[in-house]
Each structure stands twice: as C-alpha cells, then as structure tokens.
C-alpha cells in the first residue's frame, strides 16, 4: 500500500479542526514524501562547511547519491553522470538552486558527514515498517518484537597503513540489522586498537534490546555479551564453535547420540524444504531444555536450552553438502518456531548482505582516502538495499537486475521503489 504523507489519524484531526472533506487534503507522492523526510531530518547532521561558501544543501547532495545508487551507480563519477542525465527531474524534486553539484563537491560533502549522524538521519527518514510495536512473534503472553542480527563486514578502507608500500587498510564494520524492518539500525566501525568483541557490546548499547531476539556469529558468543542481553530483557540464540571448545564438544556429543537426538526431534523439532530448479535446500532445527549435563551452564546468564541447526543442500546433479551448527539460548525449546526463524534470518543476512555489498554495489572496488567517505558510502549502500528489498521481492528479479531495470527508466521506477 502506498505510503501517505499524512497518516490516517492526522487526517482525522485536520478534517475535524478545519471542517474539510477528504478531497480538500493534498496527499504527497511517495518521492515527495521521502525527500521531505530527508529534508526534515537533515537537522540531525551538523554541517561543518563554512557559512557563506555553501552552494548546495547537504540533503540535496545526499539525495543525489541515494537516488544514483538505487539506479545502479557505484562510483562518484557514475553518480555525477546520473545527475547530469536526470538533472531536470532532480531539480524539480530536490531543488538544485545553483545547478548540479560538481564531482569534487559531491565527494567533499560525503566526506564531511559524521557517520553516526548520517545513519540516524536515514533510519528516521523512512517508515520501512508501519507497525513498529507489533510483535514479529507472539505465543500467549510471550512476544518477540523483532529479530536483530549483528554482523561484521570487511572492506577496503579510507586510509593507508604506515608500511613502506602504503597498502590500503581494511575497514571493519559491525552492523545491527532489523529482520522485521528490513533496515540496518546501527553501525559501529572497528578501530585499529580494538576488535569485534567490544564493538559488539557498544552496538548492543545503541539498539533496543528489550523484547528483541538478538543473533550474531560465534566470535561474539561471549559471557559478558550474553549477560548484557539477558539483563536488558532481551533474548539470544547464540552459536557455539571452537572458541568455547568444552561447551562445543559437549553439545556436539549430545546431539550425536542417536537416542538423545531421536527424543529431541520428537519434542522440539522443525524441518523446512525449499526446492528450486532441481536443487533442494533442507533445514532441520532441534532444541532441548535438558541441559543438566552442560558443564558450564551456570556461567552463561539465563541459558534455558541448547540446540542444533542442520542444513543439507542437494543440487540437481545429486551432490550433497551438509553444515551443522550448535546453539545456546535463553528461550525454552518449546519456542522452536521463533528460534528457527532467527537462525534462518541470521544465515540470510550473513550470506546475502556480503554478496550484495561486494558483488552488486562493488564495495571492495571503491576505496577513498578522504575522512569518512568510505564509512558513509557503506551506510548509504545498506540504506539503498533496504529501499530496494520490497521492489526486488515483488518483481522476483536479482538485486543486480533490479538496479539495472530502475536505471533504464528511473523517473517512473523510483515511484514504485518508494511505495513498496
């Protein structure tokens, strides 16, 4: 359903106050509403440019970059070229009072923006999911508002190291993704003197944990992280690997026992099968509340269950690959439905996100050596992915083809992107 600039409750208030009919109220087009939201929220960013020398508003340059990225542009040169070709439409909707910004201006403006301020602006500028407080899962009095997956990503950075060759540094970013909203809610960039583990804690402090189910990779299955989530009334489904060798071996041995496995699969088990073009993707999930045997159970705050997730992939040639992972959770095994959804969601983000950023948006091929440029481009790319997600799902096209189709008829297709 198309988003309206004035919501139903606001319409009712306006109609009552001014005694007007519905046809008297102007409803903004989707692109107009989106642009207005960016403009209204631009106050969240401190513009560090010198007053009196500013020819282009910060939000106008930002909108140019967003629209160009949606339309299959990956580099600053492509973004500028996009602006030249679509200047009439852009000037009508975005308003470039002093003409199109130059290539150097676009680069400079993006480099000046504070990444956290940019992310706050983008998240606040679009209502990706209307029912923000409606639970993604409910069973009686129990509810999970959202599933949030924390995921790390490495890309070329915006700096060089101090070695003789001056190699490009790697930019390590950790992001929190909302499965319900389809957006990246927060990003923390990992500095040279730290690593992903303390960054995970910082990221958790920035997002709402209460009544949300948090997932992450095995590196971040740490006792302090688990404690923070549980004490803030959140839920976790945490993978266990070799970095916690004793617990990993215990859980693996438990589910390797045929009797125990049969009992688990009879009580709290879920299986899904997806078939496409002769291939079969089989996923099995089994959890148990029987954890009295777990040696370190008292060291992991709130733990109630352990389980496994097994993925078996069979291609059309009859070749089979299997991957089994093990988990701990502060949810009871009876909630296998939401547990399985969270694990599947984490796998999708882990696989699709990296692929889209690297292979579709060509993140690793684009490096910049100016201030916050690469960090801000990373944030904008993920925001564009969220905008494109519904369009892609409805058209059944790949992300690459989706951007190509939009680029061929941008001025019509952008309306569809912003109304899905």
3-state secondary structure of 328: strand
Q: Report how far residue 94's alpha carbon sits from residue 403's, in angstroms, rounded to the nearest whole number.
A: 21
Q: State percent of the chain over pLDDT 90.
A: 51
Q: Are strands 137-139 and 305-314 parallel, antiparallel or unpaired?
A: unpaired
pLDDT of residue 20: 53
Neighbouring C-beta atoms of residue 87, cutoff 10 Å: 15
In 126-232, alpha helices (H): 196-206, 223-231
Statement: residue 193 has pLDDT above 80: no
76: Cβ–Cβ under 8 A, 6 or more apart, which residues?
Answer: 103, 106, 107
The residue assigned the tokens 């040696």 is 295
* Per-residue pLDDT reduced to its tens digit, 123-158: 887 654 445 667 888 877 788 989 999 988 777 655
* Per-residue pLDDT reduced to its tens digit, 388-398: 887 888 888 88
Residue 347's pLDDT band (cuts 50, 70, 90): confident
Q: Are strands 142-144 and 183-190 parallel, antiparallel or unpaired?
A: unpaired
* Per-residue pLDDT reduced to its tens digit, 85-130: 999 999 998 889 899 999 999 999 999 899 999 998 988 876 544 4
What is the per-residue DSSP string for 83-139?
HHHTHHHHHHHT--TT-SPPHHHHHHHHHHS-HHHHHHHHHHH--S-S-TTS-SEEE
Q: State percent of the chain over pLDDT 70.
A: 85
pLDDT of residue 267: 93
- Between residues 175 and 21, which one has the greater pLDDT? 175
For residues 293-302, give the mean pLDDT.
Answer: 95
The residue assigned the tokens 């480099």 is 111
Lookup: tokens for 46: 């401190």
Q: What is the distance between the terminal CA atoms of the chain, rounded to a whole angstrom?
A: 7
């Amino acid at each position: 359903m198309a988003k309206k600039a004035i919501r139903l409750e606001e319409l009712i208030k306006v109609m009552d106050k001014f005694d007007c009919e519905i046809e008297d109220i102007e409803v903004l087009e989707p692109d107009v509403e989106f642009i207005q939201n960016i403009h209204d929220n631009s106050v969240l960013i401190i513009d560090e440019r010198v007053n009196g020398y500013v020819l282009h508003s910060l939000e106008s340059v930002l909108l140019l970059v967003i629209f160009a990225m949606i339309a299959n542009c990956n580099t600053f040169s492509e973004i500028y070229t996009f602006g030249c070709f679509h200047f009439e439409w852009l000037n009508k909707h975005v308003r470039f009072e002093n003409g199109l910004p130059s290539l150097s201006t676009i680069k400079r403006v993006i480099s000046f923006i504070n990444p956290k301020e940019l992310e706050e602006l983008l998240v606040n500028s679009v209502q990706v999911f209307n029912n923000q407080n409606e639970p993604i899962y409910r069973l009686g009095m129990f509810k999970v508002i959202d599933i949030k997956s924390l995921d790390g990503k490495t890309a070329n950075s915006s700096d060089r190291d101090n070695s003789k060759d001056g190699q490009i540094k790697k930019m390590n970013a950790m992001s929190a993704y909302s499965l319900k909203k389809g957006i990246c809610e927060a990003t923390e960039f990992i500095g040279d003197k730290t690593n992903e583990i303390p960054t995970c804690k910082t990221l958790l402090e920035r997002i709402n944990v209460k009544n949300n189910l948090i997932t992450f990779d095995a590196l971040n299955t740490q006792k302090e992280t688990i404690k923070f989530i549980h004490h803030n009334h959140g839920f976790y489904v945490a993978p266990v690997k070799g970095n916690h060798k004793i617990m990993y071996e215990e859980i693996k041995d438990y589910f390797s026992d045929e009797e125990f496995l049969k009992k688990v699969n009879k009580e709290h088990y879920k299986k899904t099968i997806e078939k496409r073009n002769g291939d079969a993707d089989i996923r099995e999930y089994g959890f148990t509340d029987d954890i009295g045997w777990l040696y370190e159970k008292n060291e992991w705050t709130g733990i109630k269950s352990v389980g496994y997730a097994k993925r078996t992939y069979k291609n059309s040639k009859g070749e089979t690959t299997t991957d089994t992972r093990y988990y701990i959770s502060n949810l009871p095994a009876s909630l296998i439905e939401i547990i399985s959804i969270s694990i599947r969601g984490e796998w999708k983000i882990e696989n699709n996100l990296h692929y889209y950023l690297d292979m579709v948006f060509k993140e690793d091929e684009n490096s910049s050596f100016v201030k916050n440029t690469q960090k801000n481009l990373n944030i904008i790319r993920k925001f564009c992915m969220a905008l494109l997600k519904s369009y892609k799902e409805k058209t059944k096209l790949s992300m690459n083809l989706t951007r190509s189709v939009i680029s061929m008829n941008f001025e019509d297709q952008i309306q569809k992107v912003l109304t899905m």
